Amino acid sequence: PLSASHNGSSSNSLHIGSTRLDCGNMQRLIISGAKHKYSIPHTASAPVKLAKVQKSLATLFEWQDAFEREAQRLLDTPLTLGQFEKVVTRVFDDPALPSKTQHKNITVRNNVLRSLFEDAATQEAIRGTAWAGWNAIGEYLDHVAPAKSNSSRAARSLADSGAVTERKTEAYKLLALAA
């Protein structure tokens, strides 16, 4: 997406990324060495810099090629429910001695994640793969995990940083190690 503020408080930014067609999950993944973002500050020279963006687009689209390679690696990697649950445990880093409320919330979350991985229609074509594991975690974080409001849910899913992006990145790293 292309983003900008209307008051000059932030740069014009172009982000290259994938959106999962089944459900619209934003698949934020920073791939080492692949440029995924280009920003131009609101200054008098912005029109000149925008002209340079045309030349930079080829570099940005290298990200898409890198993403496709990583996706294929994860698609080619089988993932059992037990392996998926180990990834979930590492990604969510639950307390060793949770309170009763925490234990209940962890159990509910893990049941939802298990269902997304094993049963969700959105995983039908990729079920049993590391790619399905990563998408199940992304689907949970983007659409199910508690949020203050729908707009805060959307903002955290689209952000380049923050807890949701960090968890998706951690899940990817753990699953990529197995690939």
Angle between helices 100-118 and 130-139 (to 10 degrees): 130
Per the structure block, which two tokens stand in for 154? 């959307």
Q: Over its length of 179 residues, how does the chain's per-residue pLDDT go in tens digits?
A: 555 556 666 666 665 555 544 444 555 555 555 566 666 666 667 667 767 776 677 666 777 788 888 899 999 999 999 999 999 999 999 999 999 999 999 999 999 999 999 999 999 999 999 999 999 999 999 999 999 999 999 888 888 788 998 999 999 999 998 87
Q: 83-108 as b/e, with b when 16 or more CB fall inside 10 Å?
A: bbeebbeebbebeeeeeeeeeeebee
- What SS3 state is found at 18? strand
Q: How many CB atoms lie within 10 A of CB 29?
A: 23
Strands 2-3, 37-40: pairing kind: unpaired
Q: What is the 3-state secondary structure (H, E, C) of 1-22?
A: CEECCCCCCCCEEEECCEECCC
> What does the alpha-carbon distance between residue 117 and residue 85 come to, in Å, rounded to a whole number?
10
Burial class (CB within 10 angstroms; exposed 0-12, middle 13-18, buried 19+) of 37: middle
Residue 159: per-residue pLDDT: 80
> What does the alpha-carbon distance between residue 164 and residue 157 come to, in Å, rounded to a whole number?
6
- pTM here is 0.73
Residue 8: per-residue pLDDT: 65
Residues 6+ apart with CB under 8 A from 56: 38
> What does the alpha-carbon distance between residue 146 and residue 165 come to, in Å, rounded to a whole number?
15
Q: How many CB atoms lie within 10 A of CB 75?
A: 14
